[in-house]
Structure 1
Amino acid sequence: MRIGVDACCWSNRRGFGRFTRELLEAMLAIDKKNEYLFFVDKDTAAGDGMPETVRTIVAPTLVSPTEAASAEGRRSLRDVWALSRQVMKHRLDLFFFPAVYSYFPIFNRTKIVVTIHDVIADHHPDLVFPNRKLKLFWKLKQNVAIRQADLILTVSENAKQQIIEYFRLPESRVRAISEAARPVFVVLPQDKEMVSVLRRYSLDSGKRFLLYVGGISPHKNLQALVGAFHQLISDSRFADVRLMLVGDYKDDSFFSAYWPLKNYIDQLHLDERVIFTGFIADKDLAYLYNAAALMVLPSLEEGFGLPAIEAMACGTPVVSSDRGSLPEVLGEAGRFFDPLDTRMMADTLKRVLSESDLRKEMREAGLSRAQQFTWNKAAKDTLSIFNELMKR
């Protein structure tokens, strides 16, 4: 089977970029039978980490995939046609889109698999797109993708059911796999390297901090987290705790809530208690997971919630929103709150921070839970889905 892949988002630092890299690398590691062709733009082709064993086809696009997959969706018809034309030049059996963000139509009989990670943009369009024009562009792109796709892939059972219900699709057209943590995310010793990493991000060894990892988009609900954090540290038992927010906020191409969030932090006089780190490479991030008192995920919705798995793999207790896929991913290892109720969020944080036996229980359950998710399994499931589709 000749499999074409839209690898334009290979270098993207958001979750769908990581999904693309980890899944495809796992597939290439176990699949020695099929031939893969990666279709990319010139910027992606020139970047680091592209597999040397895979044939790469470069399309002459004018706009980078990061911009094209952004909230503003700036991909011209010329670029769409450039990508489509390159794909149609090759006799492919199947074409795989690891994300719908950079989708482009294919006008031949090639089987098409499109990954839709979630329906966040459909449930909360005002929190994802800055204006009406961009909402309409997104809907058009996604609707064309759904219409053309022979099969839709997603990353959790929760996301699968939401896609089926929202788009009124038969269950046979949507399949779910899962994501996993990279091997770098493991339990690490409290050594000199950890002390060095903590100092790099203005933290002292032994000091308690809450950790959030992800985007700064409005649907991530970080203003509610800051409000709950303010309530938390108003209690003298938790006056020493800090909040660390890890993720792109300056170079993120998606709709960012950074400035409203920063203004809210300043209004509450928390500018010295809340730390914005920007993007952090995985090696340092693994140390931060290990050092954190808790990982907090306050999202209004998630398709999967990869940081939850990463945190559990590092032995970090996770306190999370009860929305979207997060309860499915965390299982009994997590503790949950209503993301719209800051008092409940703060109370949940207080309870877990104050009960060492509970944290130990969550740590052990989380380590066990994380082992159930592997990229090897995701790769095998994806290949099985591809083979099944080709028999239709």
Structure 2
Amino acid sequence: MKRYVLDARTATAHFPGIGRYVSQLARHLVPLLAADEQLVLLHRPQEDSWPLPEASNNVAVVATTVSPFSLAQQWQLPRLLRQLDATIYHSAYYLMPYRPGVPTLLTLYDLIPEQFPQLVSFRAQLFARLATRLSLRAASRLLAISEATKQAFLAAHYISYTKIAAFPLAADDRFKPQTEAIIATLRQKRSLPDRYVLYLGINKPHKNLLRLVDAWAEVVQAVADAPPLIIAGAWDARYGEVKTAVSQQKLTEHIKFIGAVEDVDLPALYSGATLFVFPSLVEGFGLPVLEAMACGTAVACANTSSLPEVGGEAVAYFDPTNTQQIAQTLQTLLQDEAALTVLAQKGQEQAAKFSWEKTAVATLTQYRHLAQTAQTFQNPL
């Protein structure tokens, strides 16, 4: 029996993006497994927030108390992998055991601390660089979530081209245009207007919300009936300057903060928006752009990093460092209903090109390739 251990300890609220990735990958791997293959899910049941497949003939669910942030994982997880007779180990996070003892895959998301050091503390830069280097050395194979992420790692670290591949993510099947009744229910629940422009994401500096606020001030001046900008998503209290800017520019009637939104409500939130805007300076993949397109909503986003891979020709792009260009793009779209309709249609077609089934097939191929090398495996450290 080949045992593929997928580390699902990040399927928690602390890791919204990674947790979704692990959950979706696990769910779509299960139907693909052969009779002599087993998916072993390593998780922390006290912190689970993303659904994982239940135990079955081809699935084993193994609980552990060790955190991805714990030094103890360096000796506890290799021991557990031996006990499980693991064929390969797949880490979804760079904080992992750096001598796992079995062929290892590592999923890569972004290099923000290295690409934008000004956005993180010096201490965080040093820690990220050290942990990244250790994880890259420990991994037998690297899986980047976009071609942009792959190229960023190749440029920043000594990695063989043969060691790294790019497998895009996808939107869950439930992200699709919602009925007017469902949208109306959400509007009432979250006190949303009939028309709104939406941003969904955290408020960390690389998300570029300060420029979006400045751009929206210009939009309000230029478009008499401009709908409000709704900023939704988890809020990091360390970065309060965005709300301060809204207050200082007297935009409190034009920009609303609604905080985190329950996952079940996201399709309706996207579907009810007139336009989705995503001004991020850098994204490993940009899943909100894909989800918005899948829900039939027109999208305007930055032309940086992975976002053109996701949006293709179905998105209105702008330079995220140019406030006037952001404002002009949004202003033009809000005054052209036909353009919004065209983008919405193209967006659904573009979103349909991505699927978790394709990602799972490509990932399982990597598992099987590494399984063939397991007999002669030697830890790269």
TM-score (norm 2): 0.91
Partner of 2:152: 162
CA, structure 1 residues 31+279, in 2 after alignment: closer, same or farther (shift >3 Å)? farther
Q: CA offsets, 1:62-110, max 9 Å, x none?
A: xx55xx3xxxxxx3x234433333223332111001232x3222342x1
The answer on whether the counterparts of 1:216 and 1:257 sit within 8 Å (CA) in structure 2 is no
What is the deviation of 1:246? 1.6
Counterpart of 1:243 (choices 226, 229, 233) is 229
Q: CA offsets, 1:125-152, max 9 Å, x none?
A: 332x3x3223222211111110111111
CA, structure 1 residues 31+162, in 2 after alignment: closer, same or farther (shift >3 Å)? same
What is the deviation of 1:174? 0.6
What is the deviation of 1:204? 2.5
Partner of 2:47: 44
- SS of aligned partner of 1:44: coil
What is the deviation of 1:40? 2.4
28-37 or 282-291: which moved more? 28-37
The answer on whether the counterparts of 1:60 and 1:79 sit within 8 Å (CA) in structure 2 is no
Gaps of 5+ in 1: 69-74, 251-255
The answer on whether the counterparts of 1:59 and 1:86 sit within 8 Å (CA) in structure 2 is no
The answer on whether the counterparts of 2:20 and 2:50 sit within 8 Å (CA) in structure 1 is no
1:81-230 alignment to 2 at 5 Å? Answer: 81-100=75-94, 102-108=95-101, 110-127=102-119, 129=120, 131-191=121-181, 193-205=182-194, 208-230=195-217
Residue 343 of structure 1 pairs with residue 324 of structure 2: yes
Partner of 1:270: 251
4+ residue stretches of structure 1 with deviation over 6 A?
Answer: none
Gaps of 5+ in 2: 374-381
Q: CA offsets, 1:337-368, max 9 Å, x none?
A: 11110000000011111112211211111111
Partner of 1:71: none
What is the deviation of 1:389? 3.0
Residue 334 of structure 1 pairs with residue 315 of structure 2: yes
- SS of aligned partner of 1:389: helix
What is the deviation of 1:229? 0.8
Q: CA offsets, 1:264-315, max 9 Å, x none?
A: 1111112232222222123321111111111111011011100111111111
Aligned letter for 2:232? V
> For residues 390 and 175 of structure 1, what CA distance do their matches in structure 2 show?
17
> For residues 186 and 299 of structure 1, what CA distance do their matches in structure 2 show?
23
TM-score (norm 1): 0.88
CA, structure 1 residues 133+202, in 2 after alignment: closer, same or farther (shift >3 Å)? same
CA, structure 1 residues 269+257, in 2 after alignment: closer, same or farther (shift >3 Å)? farther
CA, structure 1 residues 272+88, in 2 after alignment: closer, same or farther (shift >3 Å)? farther
CA, structure 1 residues 175+55, in 2 after alignment: closer, same or farther (shift >3 Å)? same
The alignment yields a C-alpha RMSD, in angstroms, of 1.9
> For residues 123 and 29 of structure 1, what CA distance do their matches in structure 2 show?
38
Counterpart of 2:356 (choices 372, 375, 379) is 375
> For residues 24 and 50 of structure 2, what CA distance do their matches in structure 1 show?
14
> For residues 290 and 86 of structure 2, what CA distance do their matches in structure 1 show?
35
1:350-365 alignment to 2 at 5 Å? Answer: 350-365=331-346
Q: CA offsets, 1:198-254, max 9 Å, x none?
A: 12222222xx2111111211111111111111110111x24442111121115xxxx
Aligned letter for 1:134? A
303-312 or 182-191: which moved more? 182-191
- SS of aligned partner of 2:220: helix
> For residues 327 and 179 of structure 2, what CA distance do their matches in structure 1 show?
29
